[in-house]
Amino acid sequence: MAGIGPVTTNRNDLLRRAGARPGISDPKNELEIFCSLCVGRVYYREQNQSLYFVDSPALSVSEIIRQVFSGLGQVPRFRQLYMDEHNLLRAALCIQLTAAQRKALFAAFVLSGINITRSGKV
């Protein structure tokens, strides 16, 4: 019987694996971004100031975002992305950021060991 192998919930192991994966290079759309994400890695697209990420029980990026926004006195508005046109298969989460929000979040991500990939400006 084939499978994907053991599934880990160890946060340090997840972050190590995310750092070992190759970076995302010039995705053409949001689905390509999602296919390149993993737990412990986020993608920031400069052209629309959007942050893309996935969550897991071992490492909740959305919880880090909520905590940072709470410190800024703001409430985050996440957008759920889907892999299909019927909105049945959930993909990544997305949030648009101001410059101040981005700076605060990126500092929190670095302190949490999360890998950040940024697109080039278009």
Query: Residue 53 sits in which domain range?
Result: 29-118
CATH for 61: 3.30.70
Q: What is the pLDDT of residues 34-74, one digit of tens each?
A: 777 877 889 999 989 999 999 888 889 999 999 999 999 99
pTM for the model stands at: 0.76
Residue 61 lies in a domain: yes
Is the distance from CB of 76 to CB of 65 less than 8 angstroms?
yes
* 107 domain residue, yes or no: yes
Cα angle for residues 102, 106, 111 (degrees, 5° grid): 155
Angle between helices 99-112 and 61-71 (to 10 degrees): 130
Tokens standing for 112? 């949490």
- As a dihedral over the C-alpha atoms of residue 51, residue 54, residue 58, residue 62, rounded to 10 degrees, the angle is 40
Task: Give the tokens for residue 107.
Answer: 């500092």
Identify the top-confidence range among 5-9, 12-16, 71-75, 89-93: 71-75
In this predicted structure, what is the pLDDT of residue 62?
95
pLDDT at site 20: 53
- What total number of domains does the chain contain? 1
In a domain, 33, yes or no: yes
